[in-house]
Structure 1
Amino acid sequence: MTDRPLRRVIIENAYIVPVAGAEIPSGHVVIEGDRIVAVGPGPADAVLDGVTDGGSGGGSGDGDSERIDGSGCLATPGLVNTHHHLYQWAAQGVTPDGTLFEWLVASYPLWAGMDAEVVHGAATAGLAWLAMSGCTTTTDHHYVFPKGRGDLFDAEIEAARRIGVRFHPCRGSMDRGRSKGGLPPDEVVEEPDAILAATEDAIRKYHDPSFGSMLRVAVAPCSPFSVSGELMVWSAELARSHGVRLHTHIAETQDEDQHCVEQFGVLPVEYLDRLGWLGPDVWLAHAVHLTDKDVQRFAETGTGTAHCPSSNGRLGAGIARVCDLLRAGAPVGLGVDGAASSEMTTLAGEIRMAMLMQRARYGPRALTARQALELATLGGARCLGRGAEIGTLEPGKLADVALWRLDGFFAAIDDPVVAFAYGRTPPLARLLAGGRTLVEDGELRTVSGAEAARAGAAAHRRLTGAA
């Protein structure tokens, strides 16, 4: 198991897609510690200043450096997942044919039985699954905190440390149960004072704002139908006082539109706008049902969107206006969403799904393979406020790199980005986060893949048995 980055990693002979900048048909990426120091065409020897690295050939090295032969491979930035609910790995398959509200009503009683052991096991499996699909940075939106069940937030953070991904856990919350006109049962909501205190504690304990941080916390009340307007306002004030980002669900379904009109007299995005919840420090999950004015406000304010195409399709929510948001200049990233509404979805697979769903709505030139890849890399980085650190392959940025095998059957397609995005996701030859190998030849190197799978299955049995 790799527990630290090598001093130097050199990837050569790969087709490189920096995302920002021209593609390089056969080139190199040189990594020193956790940073990229060079990206360019041809061999890396010219940029190594005569310093020998001790390695030669596909993946060999001297223990302090490594030279990787990327022949037949596509090099991209590590993928960035902008929306998830890791605990839901333990609750997959619930209400397979329901709407969002039907699915939630059926799921709340099950989720009420979770504890720290369930969350740790589910997060271990979910984060391993993400890494094995090329993800180096992920968020998580955890908003169910049953009393007396241990430290659920810490449980998922510990899982992320073991897997080795960059982690943006969002301290979620719900204070508006059925007795107050909300959707969730009263037994799964918290009191506002307790929510704000726990959220501030999480920021102070875990949030690391430094360049290259592996752990940043966001503030994330759940949704308009489960959170009071007062808590939304207080949460925004708290987040901004600590300089952390804000996240919530919005405009996911027509049921939500109807709820907001009946309860607040306006559609969801206008409701958020009134509460001060649009801005460059905010990214919102789903945003499927937007008006033209909503799209323009997202662009004007720099508000980001976490687009979750498979989950939106699974729940019959609709197809988000991603093309319109991009044309307007609003940040858009990709998210797999929780496994209970997007069973076994991979982040790399969402690149294809996003592209196909936009074409189904807008036509065959609506979203290209390269635009879809950008959603999953630089678009996601911008949503998380990390566009200067990750999301592209450039000198000075963090060494988050995915290397995909495009030989074998994939070699029948001349354009490597089309080969990557249009069909089945190619095998992952290597995944580096901050220069540290997380995946090699499709296998996890930080923890055992079999162990992670068993942890997820055990979490499922523990949760469903408790229910």
Structure 2
Amino acid sequence: MKTVLKNIDYLVTMNEKREELRDAYIVIVDGVIEKVGVGIGPAGEVEIDLKGHIVTPGFVNTHHHFYQSLFRSVKEVASAKLFDWLVFLYEKWKKLDGEAIFVSSKIAIYEMMASGVTTTTDMLYLHPAGREGFIDSEIEAAKETGVRFHPTRGSMSLSRKDGGLPPDSVVQSERKIIEDSVRLIEKYHDRRRNAMIRIALAPCSPFSVTGESMIATAQLAEKYDVLLHTHLAETKDEDDFCIQKKGLRPVDYMEKVGWLNRRAWFAHLVWLNEKDISKLVENDCGMAHCPTSNMRLGSGIAPVKEMKAAGMRIGLAVDGSSSNDSGNMLLEIRNALMLQRVLKGADALSPRDVLEFATLGGAKVLRMDDFTGSIEKGKAADIAAFRLDTLSMAGGLSDPVASLVLCDPHGSDFVMINGKVRVQNGRIIDSDLPELIKRQNQISAKLLETSPA
């Protein structure tokens, strides 16, 4: 089917020349962009008028924990640091079941989609004893939403009794982790161009898995040619933990266990020095920058300006909804800009820098930039559009691209994923959404042992 998006006021392509077009159109055939041009476009079987909009590539979210959308703004840890926050919430998270994973995944995805996200990953590392198939549940949820999904098979093998943070009930043996990782790769991983589902492997962090688990996972990723992901250098406490337990700082420890390679991308990377940055760049590692989470937990300010200057692959991420409390990628883009500027000056990053992190940058981190992350011929039709005639954008049209970051467009008015419309007139296309929200609140209340409002 031929679809034409026409009368686009401003089009941010993120192509090789980083072209920004006025009065543009996009021709899409069977989910793939056939042509991008200016002026009057050709007729299509379906024509969508985007006059009064700025259009960008769909945003790519590079780190999340969907299930945490059930645990937003938990009052007991609203002002806690990461380690204390984790220890408290593990006791709630260990009660999760398949329905909780399915419902919270749809909620988390739809929330991101409402702000322009078309591709996301997720790190699901909780696998309570006796409850199987959590990754399968979130994959089924993702399929129903239509998002392009790159889940990671998270894992924890180091429990509290062995010097880690999680309780025994949510950790698994290394054998079980590897067996299930193989199962998920062989069942779901799609190597084809324009894939809607791919699998990566993700031991949770240096303080929740053994060194043997890290090594075995890296070897498995090489065997099956899949990506690797973990949290790294998020807090000063983690830095101290690694030195105390491993005798090495986090990046050096990753080097020891074979994780500094082009398959790997790391969430946070706050506590780095120049040598760390050089090692990461030399080994072509990627970064999921989580500015809101880093502020929320008081973790620190990642050296993003320096990593960008060094040539690192950088994407943005909303992180889990209980360490951010929001899945709004527009807010993440803005916070990425502001957080660097507050420490390093007004010229630390530009609005276009952070917009690139959220689109092409994220696609590069997930190694999907051959088919998403930009609007150009041959790429998948992953597209977001934002209205320019809103109250908060009024007076900001001298540079609508910068205004998308500096002002407040509130949310996406239109989202297309793989050529299919998923948000129209600012609304998620899912008639079951009100009931889904109701069920999310019921499950959340039960897990937190409170009564829903």
Instruction: Compute the TM-score of the two structures, normalised by the length of structure 2.
Output: 0.96
**Matching residue within 315, 332, 342 for 1:350:** 332
Q: Match of 1:41? A: 38
Which of 324, 348, 351 is the equivalent residue of 1:369? 351
C-alpha RMSD of the superposition:
1.5
Query: Unaligned regions of 5+ residues in structure 2, if any?
Result: none
Q: What is the CA distance between 1:150 and its match in structure 2?
A: 4.0
> What is the aligned partner in structure 2 of residue 417 from structure 1?
401
Q: Paired residue for 1:103, among 85, 89, 105?
A: 85
Q: Counterpart in 2 of 1:78?
A: 58
240-249 or 448-457, larger mean C-alpha shift: 448-457
- Matches of 2:327 and 2:419, distance apart in 1: 26
**Alpha-carbon distance in structure 2 between the residues aligned to 1:349 and 1:203:** 33
Distance in structure 1 (CA, Å) of the matches to 2:436 and 2:115: 14
One-letter amino acid matched to 1:154 = D
Cα distance change, pair 165–35 in 1 and its aligned pair in 2 (3 A): same
SS at match of 1:182: coil
Q: Name the amino acid aligned to 2:395.
A: A
Pairing partner for 1:399 from 366, 377, 381:
381
The equivalent position to 2:437 in structure 1, one of 453, 456, 463, is 453
Partners of 1:311 and 1:359 lie apart in 2 by 17
**Residues 446 and 435 of structure 1: CA distance in aligned 2, closer, same or farther (over 3 Å):** farther
- Once the two structures are superposed, residues 148-178 of structure 1 have per-residue CA deviations (whole angstroms, 9 ceiling, x without a partner) of 2242111111110111100111000000112
Matching residue within 94, 100, 117 for 1:112? 94
- Letter of the structure 2 residue corresponding to residue 253 of structure 1: T
Please point out which of 406, 410, 420 is paired with 1:436: 420
Secondary structure in structure 1 of the residue aligned to 2:331? helix
Match for residue 253 of structure 2? 271
Matched, 1:207 2:189: yes
Identity across aligned pairs (percent)?
40
Corresponding residue number in structure 1 for 2:11 = 16
Would you say the 8 A contact 1:164–1:446 is kept in 2?
Answer: no
Secondary structure (helix, strand or coil) at the match of 2:413 reads strand
Q: Quick one: distance in 2 between partners of 1:182 and 1:164?
A: 37
Whether contact under 8 Å (2:114, 2:411) holds in the other structure is no
Which one of 119, 127, 130 corresponds to residue 109 of structure 2? 127
Matched position secondary structure for 1:187: helix
Report the Cα distance in structure 2 between the residues aligned to 1:164 and 1:14, rounded to whole angstroms.
Answer: 27
Whether 1:190 aligns to 2:172 is: yes
Shift of the alpha carbon at 1:233?
0.3
Q: In 1, are the aligned partners of 2:390 and 2:409 still within 8 Å (CA)?
A: no
Q: For residues 437 and 360 of structure 2, what CA distance do their matches in structure 1 show?
A: 29
> How many residue pairs get matched?
445
Letter in 2 for 1:114: L
Residues 344-392 of structure 1: CA deviation (Å, up to 9, x unaligned): 2301211101000011111001111111100000110000001111111
Structure 1's unaligned 5+ residue stretches are 1-5, 46-51, 54-64
Report the CA distance shift for 1:435/1:127 in structure 2 as closer, same or farther (over 3 A): same
Moved more, 398-407 or 13-22: 13-22
Confirm or deny: 8 A CA contact 2:62 2:288 kept in the other structure: yes
Contact 2:6 2:50 in 1 (8 A): yes
Q: Which residue type is aligned with residue 409 of structure 2? A: T
* Separation of aligned partners in 1, 2:158 and 2:431: 39
Report how far residue 250 of structure 1 moved.
0.2
Distance 2:269 2:62 in 1: 13
- Aligned partners of 1:164 and 1:303: how far apart in 2? 28
